[in-house]
Amino acid sequence: MTEVRYLLFLGCVIPYRITSYEISTRKVAEKLGMELVEMPDFNCCGLPIDSVSHDMMLALAARNLCLAEQQNLNIMTLCPGCGGTLLKVNEKLKHDKVLKQKVNGYLKEIGLEFKGTIKVKHIVQVLLEDVGFEKIKETIQRPLTSLKVAEHEGCHVLRPKKYLGFDDPEDPMVFKKLIELTGAECLDYEDETACCGAPIIGVNDMIPLQLTREKLVHIREVGAQAVITVCPFCHMMFDINQPRIERVFNEKFGIPALHYTQLLGLAMGISPDELALDQLRVKASKVLEVLSLTQKATPLQK
């Protein structure tokens, strides 16, 4: 088997606010024999700044790419926003000489130069192309056969297809297959590929809350016991914001949102505590009940 070695790009939000995604990823990666190399001095991927200054976004993304080039390692991101941005800028700079010259002009100030020698992938693409379904299957110790879930993959894992291209944005299959490898049933629901609205939280809160509420309604309709995500921002909409949605729309959902890496970890036989399930705002107690698992109080809660 070829070695799966990646530079782990955490982005701004995960290492501080959504550590459950990082913790569960590290656990799962270990079981899959992936080597994740730390990237301690990365900066913002650039995406949040694209609205403010496109040039600044390019420079920020390019600096991260150069750091990876220096180590001669490909980047794996957990956030599809970071992944999409770094991937797009990487491809643009590889193919557009004029743009490359311009961005290298900025980078020259700090002694860096973009060369175009590495690749960028989101974790879903890494699991599909580098780890492979067979390897994942081998690590399953406790198939989650009694569990019914819904998927919410997130827009930037699929679109723009021009850059990502490993799945069909209108009828995506990869993420569902990854979920089914855990033994859980992945249910279809209405408007499955619809956006959760997260990127405009802070500019306007009601629109995202309403978009996620509609998704929760559709997910509840089919009887899913949890929604599975691979994006910290989508996760925030479904998890941290779910009580707010329940208040605003005066409606009870109680649907836990698990990171895919948590779901996979449970199927690998890793304990809920080790996968930081206690960090979820919407408690996953019913999911654990279905799976006949229990969760201890963690040191942080004591």
Partner 1 sequence: MEYGKEEKTTNLAFSKVVTSRLGGETISLCYQCGTCASSCPVAKITERFNPREVIKLSLLGEKNEVISGDAIWLCCSCYNCQERCPQKVEIADVIYALRNIALEEGYIPNIYSEFASALLNDGRIVKVSKFVENKRSVLGLPPLQPTGVDALRKILSATGFDKLQQKEEESE
Tokens of 225: 């016991």
Binding residue for partner 1 (CB under 8 A) from 35, 204, 251, 286?
204
Contact 193/218 with Cβ under 8 angstroms? no
The reply to whether 207 sits near partner 1 by the rule CB under 8 A is yes
Min separation Cβ 185 and partner 1, Å: 26
- What distance in Å separates the CA atoms of residue 73 and residue 120, rounded to the nearest whole number? 10
Closest distance of CB 180 from partner 1, Å: 25
Q: Binding residue for partner 1 (CB under 8 A) from 169, 185, 218, 271?
A: 169
Nearer to partner 1, 132 or 199 (CB): 199
Q: Nearest distance from residue 140's CB to partner 1, in Å?
A: 25
Which C-beta is closer to partner 1: that of 38 or that of 134? 38
Among residues 4 and 276, whose Cβ is nearest to partner 1? 276
Q: Helix (H, G, I), strand (E, B), or coil: what is residue 85?
A: helix
- Which CB, 143 or 165, lies closer to partner 1? 165
Residue 10 vs 291, nearer CB to partner 1: 10
- What's the helix, strand, coil split of the chain in %, to 5? 45, 10, 40
d(Cα 59, Cα 106) in Å, to the nearest integer?
A: 7
**Contact between residue 113 and residue 66 where contact means Cβ atoms under 8 Å apart:** yes
Q: Using the 8-state DSSP alphabet, how is residue 278 labeled?
A: G
Residues in region 108-127 near partner 1 by CB under 8 A: 109-110
Examine residue 227 and tell whether it contacts partner 1 (CB under 8 A): no
Q: What are phi and psi of 218, to 5 degrees?
A: -65, -35
CB of 136 to partner 1, least distance (A): 24
Residue 44 dihedral angles phi and psi, to the nearest 5°: -45, 140
Which residues within the stretch 56-75 sit at the binding site for partner 1 (CB under 8 A)?
56, 58-60, 63
184: Cβ contacts below 8 Å, ≥ 6 apart? 144, 145, 147, 148, 149, 263, 267
Preceding amide of 15 cis, omega within 30: no
Which residues would be at the binding site for partner 1 (CB under 8 A)? 10, 12-13, 15-17, 19, 22-23, 26, 38, 40-44, 48-56, 58-60, 63, 99, 105-107, 109-110, 155-156, 159-161, 169-170, 193-195, 197-200, 202-204, 207-208, 210-211, 276, 299-300
